[in-house]
Amino acid sequence: MKALKTLVFVLSTLFASAALPVRAQEPTNTGVVAVKAGRLLDVRSGNYLSDQFILIESGKVREVGKARDVQPHVPAGARVIDLSHYTVLPGLIDAHTHLTGDPDQSGYRSLGISIPREALTGARNARVTLQAGFTTVRNVGAGGYSDIALRDAINAGDVPGPRLVVSGPPLGITGGHCDNDLLAPQFHAFELGVADGVPAVMAKVRENIKYGADVIKFCATGGVLSQGDNPELEQYSPEEMRALVQEAHRLGRKVAAHAHGSLGIKDAVLAGVDSIEHGSFISEEDIQLMKERGTYLVPTLYLGDWLLQNYQKLGLTDNMVDKAKYVLPEARQHVGRAFREGVKVAFGTDAAVYPHGLNAHEFAVMVKLGMTPLAAIQAATINGADLLGWSDRVGSLEPGHFADLIAVDGDPLQDVTILQNVRVVMKGGVVVKEESSDR
């Protein structure tokens, strides 16, 4: 028996030694990826660049240029991805989502959704959103810090999803749009982000940052999918808004203001917010003020089409439906004027009011209201990156940026609806979606 064991050991050693040269001859994994792009859209200039090579290392773009210039720098063993039959763009950015919510959780149905369930819903919707080509998302409002948990899970590699900038619970006044007022008085229920008065507002900003918020979101006016309040009326006072924005900026956070009515828009801009969300009743004075201050408008337009076609399937109250029928068509007129007059625009959708994954339908509405396809794409790339404060990492395919890209068939500058059918999605140099082309 001892002799047999010795023979087995010797033979095992010999076989292992013989196998070593074979393993050494296998291609080495350099961590480098090279992408052949038949046509690459330079989102800054609007020009197409042909026969491009994108060299990626450690998840970031190392070099971009003509194949003849870049290809010699591709090391042996690098993975080469051939997108020569596609149009390649930077990964898209949606600056207004609610990943932890779904349209069928509106109205009274929302009362049965727990915070853990929200987080799990968010994991599904993050994957769907990434598959749609949106590699970066700003999530502006979620219950119980569930979006912060989702961001951390994505960053840890536990679940797939876009890069997230998250707000946690949005701030709002008692009984306002950011306060769930569907429960009867005996429950004494308030949303987590409710804060009234300057000291309370400052404390709530600090609390959200304490628990991980990247951005502060607050409700300057009433809203549509909330019971009983008026979207045209201001909710936070100018003093509260100023204190909120100053405290957030002092602590290094940008601020997004939900604002439909003109007065709320004006006072939020004067308070120094970084973006106005929705802007449904934006006035000429508001437009000029935003242009002077460099404030971004984040319109959310496609939801009007989807919601007005599907509201009967949702758990909305009559008051919510009446507001939707009034506000959403009005928003098209006012926001279209803001487009024509040159307000800075970042792409946003309010996904959760309609199903996640349909985010790119927003482009067609933006173009219908007067934007060029290039301007709409820039809103979802370089403008979105600027609003998030991430111009050094996303929004364009440049050296040092994350290797986030999408590939589509055809020319989105001629037909922006092409972006609704993304064939390839890459995040950080890793292909997360790959479909066969119609070609």
The pLDDT tens digits of the residues spanning 238-285 come to 999 999 999 999 999 999 999 999 999 999 999 999 999 999 999 999
pLDDT digits (tens, 9 = 90+) for 421-432: 999 999 999 999
pLDDT for res 27: 35
Residues 268 and 295 in one domain: yes
Q: Which domain holds residue 414?
A: 32-90+396-434
Q: pLDDT tens digit string along 76-117?
A: 989 999 999 999 999 999 999 999 999 988 888 888 889 999
350 in catalytic set: yes
Question: 357: closest CA among 90, 150, 102?
Answer: 102
User: Are 319 and 193 found together in one domain?
Assistant: yes
Which among 385, 417, 411, 413 is positioned nearest to 398, based on CA atoms?
Answer: 385
Query: Does some domain include residue 171?
Result: yes
Of 359, 375, 408, which residue sits at a domain end? 359
- Taking 80 as the threshold, does the pLDDT of residue 29 lie above it? no
Q: Which residue in 267, 350, 386, 404 is the catalytic one?
A: 350
The structure tokens listed for 58 are 């450690």
Q: Which CATH number belongs to the domain containing residue 63 in this structure? A: 2.30.40.10
CATH number at 284 reads: 3.20.20.140
Handedness of CA 287, 289, 292, 297 (dihedral sign): negative
pLDDT of 22 higher than 50 = no
Dihedrals φ, ψ of 79, to 5°?
Answer: -80, 130
Tell me whether strands 275-278 and 296-298 are parallel, antiparallel or unpaired.
parallel
Inform me whether the pLDDT recorded for 6 exceeds 70.
no
Same domain (yes/no): 422, 336 = no
pLDDT score recorded for residue 180: 77
What average pLDDT does the segment 62-87 reach? 94
CA distances from 395 to 88, 197, 286, 399 (A): 13, 38, 27, 12
* Sequence-distant (≥ 6) Cβ neighbours of residue 348 within 8 angstroms: 94, 95, 96, 97, 138, 277, 298, 299, 300, 362
pLDDT in tens, 367-413: 999 999 999 999 999 999 999 999 999 999 999 999 999 999 999 99
Same domain, 186 and 291: yes
Q: Is residue 175 part of a domain?
A: yes
Residue 364 lies in a domain: no
Please state the pTM of the whole predicted model: 0.91
Instruction: Name 208's Cβ contacts closer than 8 Å, sequence gap at least 6.
Output: 167, 168, 169, 171, 193, 216
Same domain, 163 and 293: yes
Catalytic residue of the set 94, 102, 214, 217: 217
Q: Mean pLDDT over residues 347-353, rounded?
A: 97
Measure CA 177 to chain center. Answer: 22
| Structural domains of the chain, count | 2
In a domain, 374, yes or no: no
11: confidence class by pLDDT, cuts 50, 70, 90: very low
Is 73 among the domain residues? yes
Q: Which residue, among 108, 110, 86, has the nearest Cα to 98 in the 3D structure? A: 110
Q: Considering the domain boundaries, does residue 373 fall inside one?
A: no
Average pLDDT, the chain: 92
